[in-house]
């Protein structure tokens, strides 16, 4: 803005000289003050028309790094300008704004919580060589970034596992954990079974309904019920952070023992139970990311447990139940992240499976 004001004042001064002093040199000065900015404006428009934006996002130590590179299809380029965007943390009411100069290329974001973060690159503002004119171009790109929680105690207390690479553990473009697998057996329908497990072809030929059971029910006897609740307040969001941390750490405990396990969680959007199986660090990471994408819901853990409780009790399984409140089923190994320390649960599990 200051440059525009200075330019307009200078242009008016040169125009006044041309009026009072009709000389060839003064006229050339006027042409120079008009022609050069016009040429600069034209090159800016050509550069903006051929603008191509490339974005790369990574996470390191709970810090999101957004790198934006600009490429121009024409011979005219713009080296100065600003990039404007914003970011939203999952289940948070507050939104953050980001803005940095085009020459810097990289912007750093420090999210307050773990979980899914959406990064929006809204527009790029280009400046001409004289920095008098500007041109805004909308980008409208959205990226999903996962801020992974810090694991507690597992690698120090138990069998060492292979270190998780930063690229795989800290950043992904919206990939889910594994869910349903092959069918192991078919049984008669019982009250509380999910509709999507009904074997419709077989039920059509019989007088009753039959349901399909996944294969890993007998392969992985370890189950972790996840109760995701958040009312939007800061305290409840911090509790959700501890749930994410507990889920990942408990899962890492089973992986360190070379045993598979399954996260069980109610998905209110699909109105069904999500089962995310893992048996390695890689599948554990994808499963935790899948949990981070699931919408929070009041009493989500109890809803999932009520559906599968009879099945697990019949098989003799005692699942882990992770929550931020006191409503923990008696048949579960409960972890209230608000009251119990995660290290205490890990020590209990270690003694239980020795």
pLDDT for position 220: 55
Instruction: Set out the domains of the chain in order of their start, with CATH numbers.
Output: 54-147 (2.60.40.10), 156-352 (3.40.50)
Q: Of 27-36, 104-113, 197-206, 247-256, where does the model show the most confidence?
A: 247-256
How far apart are alpha carbons 83 and 123 in whole angstroms?
6
pLDDT in the model for residue 196: 57
Residue 127 has pLDDT above 50, yes or no: yes
Q: With bands split at pLDDT 50, 70 and 90, how would you rate the model's confidence at 351?
A: confident
Instruction: Give the separation between CA 337 and CA 301, rounded to whole angstroms.
Output: 14
| pLDDT tens per residue, range 253-312 | 888 888 889 999 989 888 888 889 998 888 999 999 999 999 998 878 888 888 777 766
CB 64 within 8 A of CB 57: yes
DSSP assigned state of 198: B
Work out the burial of residue 7: count CB atoms within 10 Å of its CB; fewer than 13 is exposed, 13-18 middle, 19 or more buried. middle
Beta bridge partners, 225, equal 264, 321
pLDDT in tens, 37-91: 878 888 888 888 888 887 777 776 567 888 777 777 766 677 788 889 999 998 8
DSSP 65: E
Are the C-beta atoms of 260 and 277 separated by less than 8 Å? Answer: yes
Looking at residue 172, its pLDDT comes to 30
pLDDT digits (tens, 9 = 90+) for 135-193: 888 888 888 888 888 877 543 333 223 333 333 333 332 233 344 444 446 778 777 66
In whole angstroms, give the CA distance from residue 200 to residue 308: 21
Residues 273 and 304: beta-carbon distance below 8 Å:
yes
| % of the chain at pLDDT higher than 90 | 11
pTM of the model: 0.70
């Amino acid at each position: 803005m200051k440059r525009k004001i200075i330019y307009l004042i200078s242009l008016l001064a040169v125009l006044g000289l041309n009026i009072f002093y009709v000389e060839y040199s003064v006229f050339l000065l006027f042409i120079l003050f008009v022609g050069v900015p016009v040429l600069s404006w034209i090159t800016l428009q050509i550069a903006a028309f051929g603008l191509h934006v490339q974005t790369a996002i990574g996470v390191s130590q709970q810090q999101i790094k957004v790198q934006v590179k600009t490429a121009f299809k024409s011979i005219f380029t713009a080296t100065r300008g600003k990039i404007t965007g914003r970011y939203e943390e999952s289940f948070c009411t507050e939104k953050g704004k980001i803005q940095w100069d085009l020459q810097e290329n990289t912007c750093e974001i420090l999210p307050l919580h773990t979980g899914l973060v959406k990064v929006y690159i809204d527009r790029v503002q280009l400046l001409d060589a004289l920095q008098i004119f500007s041109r805004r171009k909308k980008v409208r790109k959205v990226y999903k970034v996962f801020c992974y929680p810090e694991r507690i105690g597992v690698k120090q207390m138990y069998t060492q596992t292979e270190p998780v690479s930063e690229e795989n553990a800290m950043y992904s473009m919206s990939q889910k954990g594994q869910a349903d697998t092959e069918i192991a057996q078919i049984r008669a329908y019982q009250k509380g079974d999910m509709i999507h497990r009904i074997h419709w072809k077989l039920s059509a030929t019989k007088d009753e309904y039959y349901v399909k059971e996944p294969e890993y029910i007998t392969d992985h006897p370890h189950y972790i019920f996840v109760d995701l609740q958040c009312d939007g307040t800061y305290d409840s969001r911090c509790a959700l952070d501890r749930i994410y941390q507990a889920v990942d750490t408990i899962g890492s405990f089973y992986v360190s023992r070379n045993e598979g396990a399954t996260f069980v969680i109610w998905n209110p959007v699909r109105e069904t139970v999500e089962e995310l199986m893992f048996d390695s660090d890689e599948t554990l990471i994808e499963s935790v990311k899948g949990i981070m994408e699931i919408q929070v819901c009041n009493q989500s853990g109890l809803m999932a447990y009520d559906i599968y409780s009879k099945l697990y009790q019949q098989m003799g399984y005692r699942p882990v139940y992770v929550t931020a409140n006191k409503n923990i089923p008696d048949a579960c190994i409960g972890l209230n992240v608000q009251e119990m320390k995660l290290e205490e649960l890990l020590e209990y599990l270690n003694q239980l499976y020795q």
